[in-house]
Amino acid sequence: MHFWLLLTLLASSVLAQQPDREVDSKASIQWAIPDAPPFHIVSGELAGQGFCDHLTSAISDAMPTIEHHFTVMPHPRIAMLREQKAPLCFPCMIKREDTDSTLYSNATHFYPPHRLLTRPEIAKRLEAQFGNPVSLQSLLANHNYRLGLTMGRKYSQPLQSIIDDNPRASFTHQDISASLGASGVLELIEKGRLDYTIDYAVVGRHYQKTRGLEVSALPIAENQHDFVIGAIGCSNSEWGRHAIESINQAIPQLRQSQRFLQGIEQWLAEEGLPYWPTFHRLINQSSVSLSAPVDTAEKP
């Protein structure tokens, strides 16, 4: 049985039967886990080895007095349940100010800037035409290249504004079903049905590792120095406030977990960028220490 499937079967009734119950929930946390490699990997040889899997396991271990439940569900359902203030937490979000639907923990990790992911031969053409780093503004204005993004995907600024301001002609910008995930978008690029997408370099590395096909990750001019801070998000409710308080108390212990430190670093570290020293430098630059966002986006 798949790694996360067993956990899903054990816990799926918690949200399905009592999505808004507050009573007796303060001593437990319901974790929503999407099937989104390499963030969470729910099947295959690498099951349970995604960097957000490492985070979830380590933060759970750091809160031994709290009961933890895990349910696999797609990103749109996770967002819908947070909007409904269901008692759940999502372990791998992007640090931002609290919203009506979501409360955010202190910082847990960071992501290097988003990249353009594409086939090597297209990468050479993009560099020749738009430079390196590539100007996303200029690229989106060119109707010869087809961009694919999963539906509902949001990015850090200024990327999201640049995308929103694009005319989004149907033949140059396609919204892909969230059920396909990042690997589905890369498969469409591999087959020549799309030309590029916007994602983290680690997504391309995972696709390359599991499919054996090369993925080029080009820096984007508009955000090449914009690191993205990660955090845990919980529904904005009384239950969620208790959960975030417990999580924040456990984060110092989380940062002592060698499994977490090594699991995150092996996926997210990039050449010439010492991961954890860079993390602490970014946090020290934040105006309110561990609770201030360095960059924002709805979903990693």
Q: Which helix (H) or strand (E) holds 241?
A: helix 238-254
Give CATH 3.40.190.10 domain extents, the chain.
3-112+228-291, 115-223
pLDDT in tens, 177-227: 666 778 889 999 999 999 999 999 999 999 998 998 899 999 999 999 888
Query: For the structural domain made of 3-112+228-291, what CATH number should be given?
Result: 3.40.190.10
Asked if residue 20 has pLDDT above 80, the reply is no
Q: What is the pLDDT of residues 23-62, one digit of tens each?
A: 344 489 999 998 889 999 998 889 999 999 999 999 999 9
User: What angle in degrees, to the nearest 10, is found between the helix axes of 258-268 and 275-285?
Assistant: 90
Q: What is the pLDDT of residue 183?
A: 86
Q: Is residue 296 predicted with pLDDT exceeding 90?
A: no
Check: CB of residue 17 under 8 Å from CB of residue 61.
Answer: no
Mean pLDDT value across residues 228-238: 95
**Partner residues linked to 116 by β-bridges:** 198, 218
What pLDDT shows up at residue 178? Answer: 62
For the domain made up of 115-223, the CATH class stated in words is alpha beta
Beta carbons of 76 and 178 less than 8 angstroms apart: yes
Cα 73 from Cα 64, distance rounded (Å):
24
Closest CA to 300 of 97, 90, 116, 147: 90
Find the Cα–Cα–Cα–Cα dihedral 207, 211, 212, 216, rounded to 10°.
-30
Residue in 75, 77, 70 with CA at minimum distance from that of residue 55: 70
Pairing state between β 173-176 and 147-150? parallel
Residues 5-21 have a mean pLDDT of 41
For the stretch 84-110, pLDDT in tens is: 999 999 999 989 899 999 999 999 999
Structure tokens at 91: 């372990």
| CA 220/CA 131 separation, integer angstroms | 10
